[in-house]
Amino acid sequence: MEAYLDNAATTRAFDSVKDIMIETLSMDYGNPSSKHLKGMEAERYIRDAKDIISKRLKVEPKEIIFTSGGTESNNMALIGTALANKRRGNHIITTGIEHSSVHNPLIFLEENGFQITYVPVDSYGKVITEELLSAVKEDTILVSIMYVNNEIGSVQNISEISKKVKAKNPNVILHVDAIQAFGKYNIYPKREGIDLLSVSGHKIHGPKGSGFLYIKDKIKIKPILYGGGQEKGMRSGTENVPAIAGLGQAVKEIYENHEDKIKNLYHIKKSFIEEVSQIEGVTINGAGDKLEDSAPHIVSASFEGIRSEVLLHALEEKGIYVSSGSACSSNHPALSGTLKAIGVRDDLLDATIRFSFSVNTNMKEIGYTVDMLKELLPVLRRFRRH
């Protein structure tokens, strides 16, 4: 049997996504900047995708900029906003549990004269609001906080954070990395006080290499790519029409019967946590007092006495696919900053596995995974002791 439980890394594309991409690759393959019929056919896919996404977010189509994915969206949001607003200030606030596609652009900005403040989180991965507010200053231009943490699934109260931050400094621009949240939550940027929102397509059963950045109208932001002036000059380069069309279709389908999908994900998560928690030497990280306090699709579990990489490959041999952390950083092994930030014991930092689910996950996969953990853990622990 095979159990793919690494959906926070990437998801299998919907069949409808594959179909529309094939259509744009084989039939409607024109350059959307071309003035002839083929170009107009290609442009229609871009326009349709913007309409789908903007209606879902309740924003204007002109506020959506297509990108190559979450990393580019985050880089554009952070670097573009910092450069456009540096006369007003050079202070940026973030947390200690952000994804590397936020953390590393901020290191770049720090090297170029910007001041970065990292606010702490509690043991559940929630931002300590008092610490955040005390960090806001007159020269703070940007606050960047992820909606859902990609390793432990902690969820931030973005509306409350935005309201309090902007009450202290109305000029602060709020960027939200929603790469693990979009498709799991109904997100409405204008209602929640979000100025910039990053989304990736392959986390919601769309194609890799697709994503978008919501930029609230009137927000000052500089492009980080220059060229032919596509996407209103914000993202030059011939548009990736197949990816954009696939992204639009994925957004449409992921939100169909959305409440039922999320209810089922929480049922799967609850069953998995209940079963795994009964195994000796297992700790669930950052889950919160209530199941709904964390995202429906991510479980972080530490396995005492076993290195995460050893367990990952042992599960792989059984056809079970999981992650030992953020897949985007898997080629650069390092102890998780998120796990350190929430106070996970030192001996468990390199003994933690992330299990992540999707609309394709079923209870048979969960049962099989639990059975294999019960079978493998005693063997691996005994092997380590020798």
Tokens of 41: 């056919």
Q: Give first-to-last CA distance, the chain, whole Å.
A: 31
332, with CB counted inside 10 A (0-12, 13-18, 19+), is: exposed
Residue type, 32: P
The two tokens of residue 96 are: 């200690």
182 vs 199: CA distance, rounded Å: 7
Report which of 55, 49, 60, 106 is spatially closest to residue 81, judged by C-alpha positions: 106
Active site residue 328: yes
Q: Where are the beta strands (DSSP E) in 73-155?
A: 91-95, 115-119, 140-146
CA 307 to chain centre: 25
Residue the block writes with tokens 């969206």: 73
> DSSP state, 327?
G
Secondary structure (3-state) at 155: strand
Catalytic residue, chosen from 133, 328, 349, 370, is 328
Catalytic residue numbers, as ranges: 328
